[in-house]
């Protein structure tokens, strides 16, 4: 006879502050800290950094994109004036690049035509703080979100 043992880890949040309230029929939980920054996965496992996770009935996979070799990098980070996006793997589809502030206000939307490998964003017009650059397909399907710090 073979015996197996396993463990189950419930979703936890690590934040600077937060609480959970319930009255038997309604519950609410909140955290104070970082907003959503990035979701990564390999088709089997998914990790979403930076915000509360709901209880899942099953594991949700990161969507499969048109080109599995899609890659984007942002530099310099932290930034003072310009940040540059280097894009690989978008030869077959156009992209949208959106810039959001820390409370989710959209500050900039720009289209990147298929095959373009560089995109610059002028950060000099924004105040110092935390911003999020979201790269998505023109159909709205998100590909990557990158947190960028603006200094000076």
pLDDT in tens, 84-138: 999 888 888 889 999 998 888 899 999 999 888 899 999 999 999 989 998 888 8
| CATH value at residue 138 | 2.60.40.10
Examine residue 112 and state whether it is found in any structural domain, yes or no: yes
SS3 content of the chain, % helix, strand, coil (to 5): 0, 45, 55
Q: How many domains does the chain have?
A: 1
Domain presence at residue 99: yes
**Average pLDDT for the chain:** 75
Q: Where in the sequence is the domain holding 123, given as residue range(s)?
A: 71-150
Q: Which of 123, 118, 120 lies closest to 81, judged by CA? A: 123
Which residues have C-beta within 8 Å of that of residue 93, sequence separation ≥ 6? 66, 67, 114, 137, 138
**Structure tokens belonging to residue 133:** 């650059």
pLDDT at residue 37 above 90?
no
Residue 77 in domain: yes
pLDDT at 63: 45
Residue 137 forms part of a structural domain? yes
Residue 27 lies in a domain: no
Q: Which residue, among 134, 137, 141, 14, has the nearest Cα to 74 in the 3D structure?
A: 134
């Amino acid at each position: 006879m073979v015996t197996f043992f396993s463990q189950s880890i419930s979703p936890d949040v690590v934040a600077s502050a937060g609480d959970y309230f319930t009255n038997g029929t309604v519950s609410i939980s909140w955290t104070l800290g970082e907003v959503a920054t990035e979701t990564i996965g390999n088709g089997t496992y998914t990790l979403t950094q930076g915000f509360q996770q709901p209880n899942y009935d099953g594991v949700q996979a990161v969507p499969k994109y048109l080109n599995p070799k899609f890659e984007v990098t942002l530099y310099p980070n932290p930034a003072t004036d310009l940040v540059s996006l280097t894009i690989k793997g978008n030869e077959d589809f156009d992209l949208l690049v959106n810039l959001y502030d820390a409370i989710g206000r959209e500050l900039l939307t720009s289209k990147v035509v298929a095959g373009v490998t560089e995109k610059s964003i002028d950060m000099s017009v924004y105040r110092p703080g935390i911003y999020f650059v979201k790269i998505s397909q023109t159909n709205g399907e998100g590909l990557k979100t990158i947190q960028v710090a603006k200094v000076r």
